[in-house]
Amino acid sequence: MSEPKILPTKKEKKPKSKDNNQMIGKKRNLTNDENDSDNEKILNKQLDKKLEKELAEMEERNKKFIEQCESHPMKFIPPENPEIHPDTKALKFEIVATFHKARAGILTLPHGQVLTPVYMPVGTKGAMKGLLSADLERMGCKLMLSNTYHLGFEPGGEFLRKNYGGEENRSVHNYMHWKHNLLTDSGGFQVASLVKLSERSEEGVNFISHITGDDTHLMLSPEMSMKIQNDLGSDIIMALDDVISPFSKGGAVFDACERSLRWIDRCIKAHNRKDEQNLYGIVQGGINVELRRQACIEWSKRNLPGYAIGGMSGGESKQEFCDTVSICAEYLPQNKPRYLMGIGYPVDLVVCALLGVDQFDCVFATRTARFGTALTEYGFLKLKSEKNKFDFGPIDENCKCEICKKYSRSYLYFLINNNPRAAEMISFHNVFYLLTLMSRIREAIVNGKVNEFIEDFINKQYKNSKEGVPDFVVNTLTKAGCDMSFVKGREDRNAE
């Protein structure tokens, strides 16, 4: 399999580079430098016009493709001959304790053991915003994420393999100085998030680079996603899936679900390191519970090392979200790890862990930190608020992270508006908080103390909420086997 092709615009020469995988294209946005020549400025305008025309053509083709997808019958028609993944020695999943649907497990991967349920921090481009690999190491993190689409564009999978791979070809580990486990997303999420820069087809997704000044293309097919991830050497690799809104018209959700199945079969065939890297399939199906049930059954036939629940947090209600996760956890294999993609709110993590999910990821912890918001056991803390000016206590008095041990809310309040260090410090705390939260729920499952944990957690999270505990939390946790009678008593006391 060749490296991603650079497709230059018409009559434009390919960039001079010894390694095309670096994808260094002609620059569209060179005018930031005051010394740019007039020729460069003219070139920028020409490239901008070409890009504008190309994007308009892509948009028109996308509209026709979507119309075709919407005309799909409202019926699930899976492939007749599923591709079967062979058993692998690169992953072992042991369930050590349960509470109804919830599991506490040990996930053994090529770079060591991971205790589940687990939150996985996200370093999209091989680095987290505001945090170093060494920071995660000190927090006790054993599994984190990077993204195939972003690393595939820059610096490129082949570039990383050639220059950082080493004897074991663990290139992205070496690249970011990370000695523990790593999961790479397939690039499927960018199908939805970069819809204006991409064109979907049965073959895959043709992307125009999102990087300012870069007009190169990447045809991300299932085969190319596997090629890049094989080059990256991550411990868990994700299958390319067709991600669309759960509210898409007509039969589009059925069409995307079937395409994702066809793509997982192509991924299994193209995956060349089955004994070293673990391929997870991503179940789609929107919020159609029956479609999700059928999809889980079909995905399970592939005998994959693990399974992910994708396509969530797309604007559905919280109850629809929980019902969808619940049906997937019920019908995916009981002896394989389950990964809920893109979920990072503390309450959502706890609720879904009790539905039987083992792995979670989200950029929320660091993104909200950049806006000055910290995660605490009493909910979200907005450190920009004036009330923190004279608050000399830590972000969270029960948190054991380095930031809470040393710095006050007052310190962060004064720092946050004029010093980027504040966002880094809050990011450290937030990631630590979510890692610790998952450790606490795991400990509760192991020790048979889930109801005690839930009562303490929910009472604190919603202590200052005027609306009280949301119905979706009570309904879902009740179905998960939790005693939620304390909520009525809590509300009665608040009414008094």
Nearest in space to 171 (alpha carbons), one of 180, 183, 179, 162:
162
Nearest in space to 324 (alpha carbons), one of 305, 337, 343, 302:
343
What residue type is assigned to position 323 of the chain?
Answer: D
Name the phi and psi angles at 190, rounded to 5. Answer: -70, -15
What residue type is assigned to position 375 of the chain?
Answer: L
Q: How many CA atoms lie within 13 A of 339 on its CB side?
A: 31
d(CA 228, CA 230): 5
Helix (H, G, I), strand (E, B), or coil: what is residue 414?
helix
Nearest in space to 456 (alpha carbons), one of 426, 496, 492, 483:
483
Token pair listed for 271: 């995956």
Token pair listed for 295: 């999809």
d(CA 46, CA 50): 6
User: What does 97-152 look like in DSSP terms, one character per residue?
Assistant: EEETTEEEEEEEETTEEEEESEEE-B-TTSSBTTB-HHHHHHHT--EEEEEHHHHH
Token pair listed for 79: 């492939």
Q: What is the largest CA-CA distance in the chain?
A: 77
CB 286 within 8 A of CB 315: no
The bridge status of strand 217-220 relative to strand 198-200 is: unpaired
d(CA 267, CA 281): 9
Which residues in 366-397 are b (16+ Cβ under 10 Å) and which e? bbbbbebbbbbbbeebebeeeebeebeebbbe
| Catalytically annotated residues | 185, 361
d(CA 397, CA 457): 15
* Sole residue written with tokens 């074991």: 168
Cα–Cα separations (whole angstroms), residue 493 to 76, 369, 461: 49, 34, 16
Helix (H, G, I), strand (E, B), or coil: what is residue 339?
strand
